[in-house]
Protein backbone atom coordinates (compact mmCIF):
# COMPACT_ATOMS: atom_id res chain seq x y z
CA UNK A 1 0.00 0.00 0.00
CA UNK A 2 1.05 3.59 -0.60
CA UNK A 3 2.73 5.25 2.37
CA UNK A 4 2.05 8.75 3.66
CA UNK A 5 4.05 11.08 5.87
CA UNK A 6 2.08 12.61 8.71
CA UNK A 7 3.10 16.24 8.35
CA UNK A 8 6.78 17.11 8.71
CA UNK A 9 7.43 14.78 11.64
CA UNK A 10 9.01 11.96 9.67
CA UNK A 11 6.32 9.55 10.85
CA UNK A 12 5.43 7.41 7.82
CA UNK A 13 2.38 5.15 7.80
CA UNK A 14 0.14 3.34 5.35
CA UNK A 15 -2.30 5.57 3.44
CA UNK A 16 -5.12 3.92 5.36
CA UNK A 17 -4.89 2.94 9.00
CA UNK A 18 -7.17 0.72 11.04
CA UNK A 19 -9.42 2.07 13.78
CA UNK A 20 -9.65 -0.74 16.33
CA UNK A 21 -12.28 0.64 18.74
CA UNK A 22 -15.25 -1.18 17.25
CA UNK A 23 -13.62 -4.56 17.74
CA UNK A 24 -14.19 -4.22 21.49
CA UNK A 25 -16.53 -1.34 22.23
CA UNK A 26 -19.24 1.11 21.19
CA UNK A 27 -20.85 -0.78 18.30
CA UNK A 28 -22.65 -3.53 20.15
CA UNK A 29 -21.17 -6.69 21.64
CA UNK A 30 -17.41 -7.11 21.27
CA UNK A 31 -16.13 -9.23 18.42
CA UNK A 32 -14.77 -12.72 19.05
CA UNK A 33 -11.25 -12.23 20.37
CA UNK A 34 -9.67 -14.89 18.20
CA UNK A 35 -11.35 -13.55 15.10
CA UNK A 36 -10.29 -10.00 15.88
CA UNK A 37 -6.68 -11.06 16.39
CA UNK A 38 -6.83 -12.84 13.03
CA UNK A 39 -8.25 -9.69 11.43
CA UNK A 40 -5.43 -7.58 12.88
CA UNK A 41 -2.92 -10.05 11.44
CA UNK A 42 -4.70 -9.85 8.09
CA UNK A 43 -4.46 -6.07 8.17
CA UNK A 44 -0.69 -6.23 8.62
CA UNK A 45 -0.39 -8.72 5.76
CA UNK A 46 -2.47 -6.44 3.52
CA UNK A 47 -0.17 -3.49 4.14
CA UNK A 48 -1.72 -1.53 6.99
CA UNK A 49 0.87 -0.16 9.40
CA UNK A 50 -1.13 2.33 11.55
CA UNK A 51 -3.33 0.88 14.30
CA UNK A 52 -5.46 3.14 16.50
CA UNK A 53 -6.67 2.30 20.00
CA UNK A 54 -7.22 4.01 23.39
CA UNK A 55 -7.35 3.13 27.07
CA UNK A 56 -11.01 4.12 27.21
CA UNK A 57 -12.07 1.58 24.56
CA UNK A 58 -13.54 -1.11 26.73
CA UNK A 59 -12.09 0.36 28.90
CA UNK A 60 -8.63 -1.19 28.53
CA UNK A 61 -9.58 -4.37 26.64
CA UNK A 62 -8.99 -2.90 23.19
CA UNK A 63 -5.41 -2.00 24.06
CA UNK A 64 -4.92 -5.54 25.37
CA UNK A 65 -6.31 -6.97 22.13
CA UNK A 66 -4.10 -4.79 19.95
CA UNK A 67 -1.08 -5.50 22.09
CA UNK A 68 -1.51 -9.25 21.90
CA UNK A 69 -2.17 -9.27 18.16
CA UNK A 70 0.67 -6.96 17.16
CA UNK A 71 3.39 -8.15 19.54
CA UNK A 72 4.86 -10.56 16.94
CA UNK A 73 5.14 -7.75 14.36
CA UNK A 74 5.83 -4.82 16.68
CA UNK A 75 8.76 -3.51 14.63
CA UNK A 76 6.59 -3.32 11.49
CA UNK A 77 3.69 -1.27 12.83
CA UNK A 78 2.80 2.11 14.33
CA UNK A 79 0.56 1.94 17.38
CA UNK A 80 -1.43 4.98 18.45
CA UNK A 81 -3.23 5.18 21.78
CA UNK A 82 -4.77 7.93 23.88
CA UNK A 83 -4.95 9.43 27.37
CA UNK A 84 -7.12 12.07 28.95
CA UNK A 85 -10.12 10.52 30.69
CA UNK A 86 -10.89 9.63 34.30
CA UNK A 87 -11.88 5.97 34.32
CA UNK A 88 -13.39 4.33 37.37
CA UNK A 89 -12.69 0.61 37.88
CA UNK A 90 -15.56 -1.50 36.57
CA UNK A 91 -17.28 1.41 34.83
CA UNK A 92 -17.92 1.14 31.07
CA UNK A 93 -17.87 4.91 30.61
CA UNK A 94 -15.31 7.56 31.60
CA UNK A 95 -16.10 10.08 34.29
CA UNK A 96 -14.88 13.32 32.78
CA UNK A 97 -11.49 14.37 31.50
CA UNK A 98 -8.20 14.06 33.36
CA UNK A 99 -4.99 15.33 31.78
CA UNK A 100 -3.07 16.09 34.93
CA UNK A 101 0.63 15.43 34.19
CA UNK A 102 0.85 12.76 36.89
CA UNK A 103 -2.17 11.00 35.37
CA UNK A 104 -0.66 11.16 31.88
CA UNK A 105 2.42 9.39 33.20
CA UNK A 106 0.29 6.73 34.91
CA UNK A 107 -1.71 6.11 31.74
CA UNK A 108 1.44 5.83 29.64
CA UNK A 109 2.92 3.16 31.90
CA UNK A 110 -0.34 1.21 32.02
CA UNK A 111 -0.81 1.42 28.26
CA UNK A 112 2.73 0.20 27.64
CA UNK A 113 1.98 -2.93 29.65
CA UNK A 114 -1.34 -3.60 27.91
CA UNK A 115 0.22 -3.01 24.50
CA UNK A 116 3.17 -5.29 25.31
CA UNK A 117 5.70 -2.77 24.11
CA UNK A 118 8.44 -0.49 25.40
CA UNK A 119 7.24 2.58 23.50
CA UNK A 120 4.05 4.20 22.22
CA UNK A 121 4.52 5.46 18.68
CA UNK A 122 1.78 8.10 18.86
CA UNK A 123 0.23 9.28 22.13
CA UNK A 124 -2.87 11.45 21.76
CA UNK A 125 -4.69 13.62 24.25
CA UNK A 126 -8.12 12.09 23.62
CA UNK A 127 -10.07 15.23 24.47
CA UNK A 128 -8.88 18.63 25.64
CA UNK A 129 -9.13 19.00 29.41
CA UNK A 130 -10.50 22.49 30.18
CA UNK A 131 -9.07 22.28 33.72
CA UNK A 132 -5.45 21.68 32.72
CA UNK A 133 -3.44 24.15 30.61
CA UNK A 134 -2.45 22.52 27.35
CA UNK A 135 1.12 23.72 27.93
CA UNK A 136 1.30 21.40 30.96
CA UNK A 137 -0.07 18.52 28.91
CA UNK A 138 2.46 19.07 26.14
CA UNK A 139 5.24 19.33 28.71
CA UNK A 140 4.24 16.02 30.30
CA UNK A 141 4.26 14.26 26.93
CA UNK A 142 7.60 15.89 26.10
CA UNK A 143 9.02 14.30 29.25
CA UNK A 144 7.70 10.91 28.10
CA UNK A 145 9.37 11.44 24.74
CA UNK A 146 12.67 12.23 26.46
CA UNK A 147 12.28 9.07 28.54
CA UNK A 148 11.81 6.98 25.38
CA UNK A 149 8.31 5.87 26.32
CA UNK A 150 6.58 7.91 23.59
CA UNK A 151 7.74 8.75 20.06
CA UNK A 152 5.15 11.30 18.88
CA UNK A 153 2.56 13.63 20.46
CA UNK A 154 -0.96 13.95 19.09
CA UNK A 155 -4.15 15.84 19.83
CA UNK A 156 -7.72 14.78 19.14
CA UNK A 157 -10.62 17.15 18.39
CA UNK A 158 -8.60 20.16 19.55
CA UNK A 159 -9.36 23.69 18.37
CA UNK A 160 -6.92 26.11 16.67
CA UNK A 161 -5.78 27.97 19.81
CA UNK A 162 -5.08 24.73 21.68
CA UNK A 163 -3.12 23.30 18.76
CA UNK A 164 -0.92 26.38 18.50
CA UNK A 165 -0.22 26.50 22.25
CA UNK A 166 0.62 22.80 22.44
CA UNK A 167 2.82 22.92 19.33
CA UNK A 168 4.83 25.79 20.82
CA UNK A 169 5.82 23.60 23.78
CA UNK A 170 6.39 20.28 21.99
CA UNK A 171 5.81 19.51 18.29
CA UNK A 172 2.38 18.06 17.62
CA UNK A 173 2.83 15.30 15.05
CA UNK A 174 -0.82 14.54 14.35
CA UNK A 175 -4.27 15.96 14.90
CA UNK A 176 -6.99 13.32 14.89
CA UNK A 177 -10.56 14.52 14.37
CA UNK A 178 -13.74 13.30 12.78
CA UNK A 179 -13.71 14.00 9.05
CA UNK A 180 -15.84 12.51 6.31
CA UNK A 181 -18.32 13.43 3.62
CA UNK A 182 -20.92 14.02 6.31
CA UNK A 183 -18.61 15.71 8.84
CA UNK A 184 -16.58 18.38 7.08
CA UNK A 185 -15.94 20.68 10.04
CA UNK A 186 -12.11 20.49 9.74
CA UNK A 187 -12.30 22.31 6.42
CA UNK A 188 -13.35 25.53 8.15
CA UNK A 189 -10.05 26.25 9.94
CA UNK A 190 -8.24 23.12 11.01
CA UNK A 191 -6.83 21.79 7.73
CA UNK A 192 -5.20 25.10 6.84
CA UNK A 193 -3.75 25.39 10.35
CA UNK A 194 -2.20 21.93 10.48
CA UNK A 195 -0.76 22.41 6.99
CA UNK A 196 0.80 25.68 8.14
CA UNK A 197 2.35 24.00 11.18
CA UNK A 198 3.43 20.82 9.40
CA UNK A 199 1.08 18.59 11.38
CA UNK A 200 -0.45 15.44 9.90
CA UNK A 201 -4.17 14.70 10.06
CA UNK A 202 -5.79 11.37 10.93
CA UNK A 203 -9.48 11.17 10.05
CA UNK A 204 -11.57 9.03 12.38
CA UNK A 205 -15.05 7.81 11.44
CA UNK A 206 -14.22 8.44 7.76
CA UNK A 207 -17.23 6.30 6.83
CA UNK A 208 -19.63 8.14 9.11
CA UNK A 209 -19.67 5.34 11.70
CA UNK A 210 -20.54 2.93 8.92
CA UNK A 211 -23.34 5.00 7.46
CA UNK A 212 -21.51 5.96 4.27
CA UNK A 213 -21.11 2.30 3.33
CA UNK A 214 -24.75 2.28 2.28
CA UNK A 215 -25.71 -0.61 4.53
CA UNK A 216 -28.21 1.32 6.69
CA UNK A 217 -31.80 2.10 5.89
CA UNK A 218 -34.38 4.48 7.31
CA UNK A 219 -35.76 1.65 9.48
CA UNK A 220 -32.41 0.47 10.89
CA UNK A 221 -32.51 -0.43 14.59
CA UNK A 222 -29.46 -0.59 16.85
CA UNK A 223 -28.65 -2.81 19.82
CA UNK A 224 -28.87 -1.26 23.28
CA UNK A 225 -25.07 -1.28 23.60
CA UNK A 226 -24.52 0.33 20.20
CA UNK A 227 -23.97 4.03 20.85
CA UNK A 228 -25.33 4.94 17.42
CA UNK A 229 -28.79 4.24 18.78
CA UNK A 230 -28.54 7.47 20.78
CA UNK A 231 -26.57 9.46 18.20
CA UNK A 232 -28.57 12.37 16.74
CA UNK A 233 -27.78 11.45 13.12
CA UNK A 234 -29.13 7.93 13.57
CA UNK A 235 -32.47 8.94 15.04
CA UNK A 236 -35.46 8.04 12.89
CA UNK A 237 -36.26 11.49 11.51
CA UNK A 238 -32.62 12.28 10.75
CA UNK A 239 -31.88 8.81 9.43
CA UNK A 240 -34.62 9.05 6.84
CA UNK A 241 -33.13 12.28 5.46
CA UNK A 242 -29.55 11.03 5.61
CA UNK A 243 -30.38 7.91 3.62
CA UNK A 244 -31.10 10.19 0.67
CA UNK A 245 -27.49 11.38 0.75
CA UNK A 246 -26.11 7.86 0.70
CA UNK A 247 -28.47 6.85 -2.10
CA UNK A 248 -27.11 9.72 -4.19
CA UNK A 249 -23.54 8.69 -3.39
CA UNK A 250 -24.36 5.13 -4.41
CA UNK A 251 -25.36 6.37 -7.83
CA UNK A 252 -22.08 8.24 -8.20
CA UNK A 253 -20.10 5.24 -6.99
CA UNK A 254 -21.74 3.01 -9.58
CA UNK A 255 -20.49 5.26 -12.36
CA UNK A 256 -16.94 4.69 -11.08
CA UNK A 257 -17.44 0.96 -10.51
CA UNK A 258 -16.79 1.27 -6.78
CA UNK A 259 -18.78 1.07 -3.55
CA UNK A 260 -20.05 4.20 -1.76
CA UNK A 261 -17.67 3.49 1.10
CA UNK A 262 -14.72 3.33 -1.28
CA UNK A 263 -15.83 6.57 -2.89
CA UNK A 264 -15.96 8.27 0.53
CA UNK A 265 -12.46 7.06 1.44
CA UNK A 266 -10.99 7.94 -1.96
CA UNK A 267 -12.42 11.46 -1.59
CA UNK A 268 -10.68 11.89 1.76
CA UNK A 269 -7.38 10.58 0.41
CA UNK A 270 -7.60 13.03 -2.49
CA UNK A 271 -8.03 16.06 -0.23
CA UNK A 272 -4.45 16.25 1.09
CA UNK A 273 -1.41 13.94 0.89
CA UNK A 274 -0.96 14.12 4.67
CA UNK A 275 -4.49 12.93 5.56
CA UNK A 276 -4.78 9.31 6.71
CA UNK A 277 -8.27 7.86 7.29
CA UNK A 278 -8.66 5.08 9.88
CA UNK A 279 -11.87 3.18 9.06
CA UNK A 280 -12.73 0.37 11.44
CA UNK A 281 -14.23 -3.03 10.72
CA UNK A 282 -14.66 -6.53 12.10
CA UNK A 283 -14.78 -8.26 8.72
CA UNK A 284 -12.04 -9.33 6.31
CA UNK A 285 -14.13 -8.44 3.27
CA UNK A 286 -14.71 -4.91 4.53
CA UNK A 287 -11.01 -4.57 5.30
CA UNK A 288 -10.15 -5.53 1.72
CA UNK A 289 -12.81 -3.19 0.36
CA UNK A 290 -11.46 -0.26 2.37
CA UNK A 291 -7.86 -0.94 1.39
CA UNK A 292 -8.83 -1.02 -2.30
CA UNK A 293 -10.03 2.59 -1.94
CA UNK A 294 -6.39 3.68 -1.68
CA UNK A 295 -5.93 2.71 -5.34
CA UNK A 296 -8.91 4.72 -6.66
CA UNK A 297 -8.03 7.85 -8.59
CA UNK A 298 -10.49 10.74 -8.54
CA UNK A 299 -10.31 13.59 -11.05
CA UNK A 300 -11.16 17.19 -10.08
CA UNK A 301 -14.44 16.63 -11.88
CA UNK A 302 -15.14 13.54 -9.76
CA UNK A 303 -14.40 15.44 -6.57
CA UNK A 304 -16.65 18.29 -7.67
CA UNK A 305 -19.50 15.89 -8.40
CA UNK A 306 -19.12 14.26 -4.99
CA UNK A 307 -19.12 17.55 -3.14
CA UNK A 308 -22.05 18.89 -5.16
CA UNK A 309 -24.00 15.77 -4.22
CA UNK A 310 -23.27 16.29 -0.53
CA UNK A 311 -24.24 19.95 -0.77
CA UNK A 312 -27.57 18.98 -2.33
CA UNK A 313 -28.35 16.63 0.57
CA UNK A 314 -27.57 18.46 3.84
CA UNK A 315 -26.79 16.12 6.72
CA UNK A 316 -29.52 15.95 9.36
CA UNK A 317 -28.56 15.87 13.03
CA UNK A 318 -25.47 16.83 15.01
CA UNK A 319 -22.54 14.42 15.05
CA UNK A 320 -22.68 14.10 18.86
CA UNK A 321 -25.20 14.82 21.57
CA UNK A 322 -24.89 18.05 23.54
CA UNK A 323 -22.34 16.64 25.98
CA UNK A 324 -20.19 15.24 23.21
CA UNK A 325 -20.23 18.49 21.24
CA UNK A 326 -19.16 20.41 24.34
CA UNK A 327 -15.92 18.40 24.42
CA UNK A 328 -14.70 19.13 20.88
CA UNK A 329 -12.94 22.06 19.25
CA UNK A 330 -11.67 23.43 22.58
CA angle 204, 210, 216 (to 5 degrees): 160
Residue 90: predicted pLDDT: 77
Write out pLDDT tens, residues 10-61.
Answer: 999 999 999 999 999 999 999 999 999 999 999 999 999 999 999 999 999 9
What dihedral angle (degrees, nearest 10) is formed by the CA atoms of 215, 218, 219, 224?
70
Determine the average pLDDT of the residues in 251-270.
Answer: 97
Give CA–CA dist 23/11, Å, rounded: 25
Residue 218: predicted pLDDT: 87
> How many percent of the chain have pLDDT more than 70?
100
Residue 94: predicted pLDDT: 86
Give CA–CA dist 274/259, Å, rounded: 24
Q: Which of 57, 124, 179, 204 is catalytic?
A: 57
Residues 6+ apart with CB under 8 A from 151: 11, 119, 120, 121, 122, 145
Quickly state the pLDDT bin for 186 (edges 50, 70, 90): very high
CA angle 135, 139, 145 (to 5 degrees): 145
DSSP E strands: which ranges in the chain? 3-5, 12-14, 18-19, 50-52, 78-83, 120-125, 150-156, 172-178, 200-204, 275-277
- Tell me, yes or no, if 57 is annotated catalytic: yes
Q: Which domains does the chain have, with CATH numbers?
A: 3-210+268-296 (3.20.20.100)
Write out pLDDT tens, residues 127-136.
Answer: 999 999 999 9
Mean residue pLDDT across the chain? 96
Quickly state the pLDDT bin for 308 (edges 50, 70, 90): very high
Residue 93: predicted pLDDT: 80
Write out pLDDT tens, residues 77-100.
Answer: 999 999 999 998 777 788 899 999
Beta bridge partners, 9, equal none
Amino acid sequence: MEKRSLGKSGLEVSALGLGCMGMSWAYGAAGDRGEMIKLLHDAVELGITLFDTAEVYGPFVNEELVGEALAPVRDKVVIATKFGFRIDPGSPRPRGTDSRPEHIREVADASLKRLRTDHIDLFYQHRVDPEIPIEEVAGAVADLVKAGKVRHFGLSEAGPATIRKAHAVHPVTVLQSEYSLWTRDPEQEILALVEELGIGFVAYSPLGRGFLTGTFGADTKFADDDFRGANPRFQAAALEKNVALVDALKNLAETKGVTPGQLALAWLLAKKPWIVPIPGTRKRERLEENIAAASISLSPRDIGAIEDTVAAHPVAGERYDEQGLAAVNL
